[in-house]
Amino acid sequence: LPLNAAIFLACFLFFLVSLLVTGGFAIDATSGAIVTEKLKYLRNFLAMPLVLVLFLAGVTGVVYGIASAVFGKGTGGIWFSGAGTILAVLSLFMVAGFNSTPYYPSSYDPASSLTIMNSSSSLFTLKTMMYVSFIIPFVLVYIWFAWKAINVSKITEEEMGKEGHVY
pLDDT, tens only, 81-117: 999 999 999 999 999 989 988 988 888 888 888 888 8
User: pLDDT value at position 121?
Assistant: 66
Could you say which residues of the chain have pLDDT below 50?
none
Answer yes or no: pTM beyond 0.85: no
Asked if 14 and 30 count as a contact pair (C-beta separation under 8 A), the reply is no
Question: Residue 29 contacts by C-beta under 8 Å, 6 or more apart in sequence?
Answer: 100
Model pLDDT, residue 167: 56
- The per-residue pLDDT for 72 is 84
How far is 18 from 31, CA to CA, in rounded Å? 29
pLDDT value at residue 52: 97
Closest to 61 (Cα-Cα) out of 73, 50, 69: 69
pLDDT value of residue 159: 77
pLDDT at 56: 97
Phi and psi, residue 133, nearest 5° = -65, -35
